[in-house]
């Protein structure tokens, strides 16, 4: 009908008909609407729906409450004294959390509290169906916040080759000081044993190495379980949760018996693409490089850095001990 | 049997009831057209539209909307001219509904087969504008007044091409009676033969007449908040604006279907077994869909653009159309 308006245009433009064509094409194509309460669109597994509290990790440091731009986090608590536990030990004071509440009527879901929490006590959960008819009920108290932990996903698996979180051990792996060139032996650095060694830790392996190996083994277990779950047809979220649980079990358990890592040449390892040296070998490489650097007269810090790099190169694509 | 049927139909009371029934069907028809519009618009925007009311694809949505309007409080501002304000829905509804008096649903299914049916239809369809103007004036609201004035100004633009396009049809058919015009298109609608240009002109003018995008400046929600009906609420709003708009749209579509698509006349002689009202409804429905389709495709023009378009394009074209029609008639008949 508006084809007349085309007459004004010198070109007899087809714009109007083109527009009609577009709307017609859209009309006959499928609507994108998801009928929410009846069907639920698949959310990304790490959607930020609600903030969950892991109460036992909270130390009442108040960082979240202070950083919250909306001041919607309420923390109350009190100090308790713990009597001295034995001869010569001090009595200690510690914090007890009485109330932790988030007012979701105020919250703007910026997630700063989750970011800022130094003790992993706050997490994002993908739950979002907690609308209320009464605004006061949007203040979730501790029980409810803890309840959201049910659906909190474990942290994502690390990227290949990425270092896990720093785990502070009493005996950091420091290459033997320059004054100890004889330290070519496999286990020279256990000067301060610190906490009793974890079960299954083989002699000749530092605490940090052991932790790293366990983590690597755990990552393998996790990937395997994840793939199995996906193959079984589980949802990605469920597969991820189950594989995480499997990893945790694997990490808690002692290392697989395959560990010992004799100081021989690295196995060719045909199954995995990147065949790196075993951790023990790599540590040996590190020490060697360190000594060379020191011998060249490098600054100890530089020597440490270069030796570490050499070790990482040696271990690149580290396969788990069980692999 | 047939004669008995004719006897019954000849009974003036039965006939009156039937004819009243046609007018009473207009309200449900607005609900249907409103629902279709909701659905078509939604799908053109990749949505689903109403899905809940009435359980199956939201079929009862417009009914629920209507009931909601009936329940609502009827608010009138202190400064309104209450008498005029309250009369407006009657006037707009009247203007929209009176067109159906002369529209033939089948050869005999017409409330009144007036000799000057076309003239009558065009005349009464302009009554609504009085209602809109009155609404704008009585509301004591500048947006409303602006909307009313826009509606009146728009009349100057579309009325002339509308009438001229219809005049060419009357020349072609040799009659002002809508039944005769429909009969003149037995098996060849004017839109395909003799009056295609007139058809396009009539559609453009009719879109402006029923205030639908791209010529919906009188209601322009985004600029003047539904224009003359800003101050209306509850049932007055439902009838004065919604029902009147949809009835006017159905009426203009029915008129255009009769003038240019042959109304109840089958498109092919082989399809004569399909009853006339079905043909009429199919053709009217197609034009209604076209209006909806256009509404959700094109943006709104400005009032001056419509004036320019109507006076510099539509009117010269329709005069040419009349001239050509007359010349062809002369060449054929003499």
Residue in chain A nearest B213 by alpha carbon: A2
Checking if the pLDDT of B19 tops 90, the result is no
Q: How confident is the model at residue A7 (pLDDT cuts 50, 70, 90)?
A: low
pLDDT at B77: 84
- For CA atoms B58, B59, B65, B71, the dihedral sign is negative
pLDDT digits over A166-208, tens only? Answer: 766 655 454 444 444 444 444 444 444 444 444 445 555 565 6
Phi, psi of A78 (to 5 degrees): -145, 165
Question: Using CA atoms, how far apart are residues A245 and A236, in angstroms rounded to an integer?
Answer: 14
User: Which residues sit opposite A53 in a β-bridge?
Assistant: A122
Phi, psi of A51 (to 5 degrees): -100, 130
Total tally of structural domains belonging to chain A? 3
Contacts of A22 by beta carbon, 8 Å cutoff, 6+ apart: B297
Checking if the pLDDT of A51 tops 70, the result is yes
pLDDT at A194: 41
Question: Using CA atoms, how far apart are residues B228 and B241, in angstroms rounded to an integer?
Answer: 9
Q: Is residue A24 part of a domain?
A: yes
String of DSSP letters for A119-187: TS-EEEE-------SSGGGGEE-HHHHHHGGGGPPPPPPPPTT--------SS---PPPTT-TTTTSSS
pLDDT at B216: 86
Question: Using CA atoms, how far apart are residues B144 and B230, in angstroms rounded to an integer?
Answer: 6
Q: Is residue A199 part of a domain?
A: no
| Peptide bond preceding A218 in cis form (omega within 30 of 0) | no
Regarding whether A54 and A140 lie in a shared domain, the answer is yes
pLDDT at A207: 59
Across the interface, whether the CB atoms of B46 and A8 are under 8 A apart is answered no
Checking if the pLDDT of A269 tops 50, the result is no
Among A131, A151, A171, the domain boundary falls at A151
Among A130, A151, A172, the domain boundary falls at A151
Regarding whether A66 and A22 lie in a shared domain, the answer is no
Across the interface, whether the CB atoms of A1 and B46 are under 8 A apart is answered no
Question: Using CA atoms, how far apart are residues B230 and B166, in angstroms rounded to an integer?
Answer: 33
Q: State the greatest distance between any 2 C-alpha atoms of chain A, in Å, as a whole number.
A: 103
Task: Give the residue with greater pLDDT, B1 vs A80.
Answer: A80
Look-up of token digits 């007055």: B236
A1 Cα to chain B: minimum distance (Å)? 5
Most confidently predicted of A15-19, A124-128, A171-175, A283-287: A124-128
String of DSSP letters for A45-56: TT---EEEE-GG
pLDDT at A176: 45
Q: Domain of A119? A: 50-151
A20 Cα to chain B: minimum distance (Å)? 6
Q: Is residue A38 part of a domain?
A: no
* CATH code, A105: 3.30.70.3270
Task: Give the residue with greater pLDDT, B319 vs A286.
Answer: B319
Phi, psi of B243 (to 5 degrees): -60, -45
Across the interface, whether the CB atoms of B309 and A5 are under 8 A apart is answered yes
Checking if the pLDDT of A264 tops 70, the result is no
Best probe of the A interface among B39, B41, B42, B43, by most A CBs < 10 A, is B43
Q: How confident is the model at residue B36 (pLDDT cuts 50, 70, 90)?
A: very high
Checking if the pLDDT of A215 tops 90, the result is no
pLDDT digits over B39-76, tens only? Answer: 999 999 988 888 888 888 888 898 898 889 889 888 88
Q: Is B203 on the interface with A (CB under 8 A)?
A: yes
Which residues of A are less than 8 Å from B200 in CB distance? 1, 3-4
Among A151, A179, A197, the domain boundary falls at A151
Q: How confident is the model at residue B320 (pLDDT cuts 50, 70, 90)?
A: very high
Q: Is residue A72 part of a domain?
A: yes
How many helices and strands in chain A, by DSSP H and E?
9, 5
Give the end-to-end CA distance of chain A in Å, rounded to a whole number: 73
Regarding whether A296 and A261 lie in a shared domain, the answer is yes
Residues making up chain A, counted from first to last: 323
What's the whole-number mean pLDDT along residues A55-84? 90
pLDDT at B230: 86
Question: Using CA atoms, how far apart are residues A150 and A50, in angstroms rounded to an integer?
Answer: 12
Q: Is B42 on the interface with A (CB under 8 A)?
A: yes
pLDDT at A257: 44
For residues A63, A67, A72 and A73, what is the CA-based torsion angle, rounded to 10 degrees? Answer: -10
Give me A87's structure tokens.
């001869």
Across the interface, whether the CB atoms of A20 and B294 are under 8 A apart is answered yes
Across the interface, whether the CB atoms of A35 and B51 are under 8 A apart is answered yes
pLDDT at A261: 44
A→B contacts (Cβ < 8 Å), by residue, are 1-5, 7-8, 16, 19-20, 22-24, 26-33, 35
Q: How confident is the model at residue A259 (pLDDT cuts 50, 70, 90)?
A: very low
pLDDT digits over B234-285, tens only? Answer: 888 888 788 888 998 999 999 999 999 888 888 887 877 878 888 889 999 9
| CA A17 to each of CA A1, A2, A22, A24, A188: distance values in angstroms, whole numbers, following the listed order | 10, 9, 9, 10, 83
Q: Is B313 on the interface with A (CB under 8 A)?
A: yes
Q: Is B63 on the interface with A (CB under 8 A)?
A: no
Task: Give the residue with greater pLDDT, A211 vs B42.
Answer: B42
Q: Is B172 on the interface with A (CB under 8 A)?
A: no
For chain B, the structural domain boundaries read 25-71, 74-333
pLDDT at A204: 58
Residue in chain A nearest B315 by alpha carbon: A4
- Using N-to-C axis directions, what is the helix angle for A207-232 and A279-296, rounded to 10°? 140
Q: Is residue A179 part of a domain?
A: no
pLDDT digits over A96-130, tens only? Answer: 889 999 999 999 999 999 999 998 899 998 888 88
Regarding whether A224 and A310 lie in a shared domain, the answer is yes
pLDDT at A267: 44
Can you say whether residue B174 is alpha, beta or left, with left for phi > 0 and alpha for psi between -120 and 50 degrees? Answer: left
Min mean pLDDT across A115-124, B5-14, B17-26, B276-285 is at: B5-14
Checking if the pLDDT of A151 tops 80, the result is yes
Question: Using CA atoms, how far apart are residues A221 and A213, in angstroms rounded to an integer?
Answer: 12
The DSSP 8-state label assigned to residue B114 in this structure reads: -
pLDDT at A13: 55
């Amino acid at each position: 009908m508006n084809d007349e308006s085309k007459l004004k245009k010198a070109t007899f433009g087809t714009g109007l008909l083109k527009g009609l064509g577009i709307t017609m094409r859209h009309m006959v194509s499928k609507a994108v609407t998801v009928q929410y309460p009846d069907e639920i669109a698949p959310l990304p597994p790490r959607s930020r729906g609600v903030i969950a509290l892991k109460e036992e990790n909270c130390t009442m440091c108040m960082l979240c409450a202070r950083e919250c731009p909306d001041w919607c986090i309420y923390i109350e608590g009190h100090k308790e004294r713990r009597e001295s536990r034995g001869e010569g030990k001090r009595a200690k004071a510690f914090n007890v959390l009485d109330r932790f509440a988030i007012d979701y009527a105020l919250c703007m879901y910026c997630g700063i509290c989750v970011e800022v929490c130094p003790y992993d006590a706050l997490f994002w959960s993908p739950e979002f169906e907690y609308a209320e008819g009464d605004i006061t009920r949007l203040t979730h108290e501790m029980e409810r916040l803890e309840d959201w932990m049910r659906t909190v996903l474990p942290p994502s698996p690390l990227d290949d080759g990425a270092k896990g979180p720093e785990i502070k051990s009493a005996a950091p792996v420091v290459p033997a000081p320059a004054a100890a060139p004889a330290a070519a032996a496999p286990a020279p650095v256990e000067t301060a044993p610190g906490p009793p060694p974890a079960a299954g830790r083989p002699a000749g392996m530092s605490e940090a190495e052991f932790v790293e190996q366990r983590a690597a083994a755990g990552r393998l277990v996790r990937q395997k379980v994840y793939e199995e779950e996906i193959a079984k047809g589980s949802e990605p979220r469920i597969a991820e949760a189950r594989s995480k649980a499997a990893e945790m079990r694997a990490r808690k358990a002692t290392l697989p018996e395959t560990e010992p890592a004799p100081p021989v040449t690295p196995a060719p390892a045909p199954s995995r693409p990147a065949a790196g040296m075993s951790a023990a070998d790599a540590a040996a490489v590190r020490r060697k490089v360190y000594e060379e650097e020191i011998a060249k007269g490098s600054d100890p810090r530089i020597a440490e850095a270069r030796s570490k790099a050499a070790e990482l190169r040696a271990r690149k694509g580290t396969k788990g001990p069980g692999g | 049997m047939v004669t008995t049927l004719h006897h019954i139909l000849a009974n003036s009371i039965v006939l009156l009831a039937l004819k009243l029934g046609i007018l009473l069907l207009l309200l449900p028809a607005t609900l249907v057209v409103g629902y279709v519009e909701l659905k078509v618009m939604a799908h053109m925007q990749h949505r689903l539209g109403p899905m809940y009311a009435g359980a199956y694809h939201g079929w009862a949505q417009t009914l629920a909307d209507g009931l909601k309007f009936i329940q609502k409080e009827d608010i009138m501002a202190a400064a309104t001219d209450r008498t005029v304000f309250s009369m407006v829905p009657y006037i707009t509804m009247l203007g929209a509904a009176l067109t159906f008096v002369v529209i033939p649903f089948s050869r005999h299914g017409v409330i009144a087969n007036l000799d000057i049916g076309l003239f009558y239809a065009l005349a009464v369809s302009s009554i609504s504008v009085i209602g809109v103007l009155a609404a704008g004036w009585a509301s004591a609201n500048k947006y409303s007044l602006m909307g009313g004035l826009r509606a009146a100004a728009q009349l100057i633009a579309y009325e002339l091409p509308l009438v001229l396009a219809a005049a060419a049809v009357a020349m072609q058919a040799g009659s002002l009676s809508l039944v005769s015009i429909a009969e003149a298109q037995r098996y060849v609608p004017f839109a395909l033969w003799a009056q295609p240009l007139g058809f396009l002109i009539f559609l453009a003018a009719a879109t402006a007449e029923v205030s639908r995008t791209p010529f919906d400046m009188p209601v322009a929600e985004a600029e003047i908040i539904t224009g003359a009906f800003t101050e209306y609420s509850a049932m007055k709003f439902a009838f004065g604006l919604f029902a009147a708009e949809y009835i006017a749209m159905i009426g203009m579509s029915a008129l255009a279907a009769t003038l240019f698509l042959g109304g109840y006349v089958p498109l092919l002689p082989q399809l004569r077994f399909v009853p006339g009202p079905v043909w009429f409804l199919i053709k009217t429905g197609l034009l209604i869909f076209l209006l909806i389709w256009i509404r959700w495709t094109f943006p709104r023009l400005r009032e001056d653009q419509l004036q320019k378009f109507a006076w510099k394009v539509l009117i010269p074209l329709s005069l040419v159309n009349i001239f050509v029609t007359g010349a062809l008639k002369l060449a054929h008949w003499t």
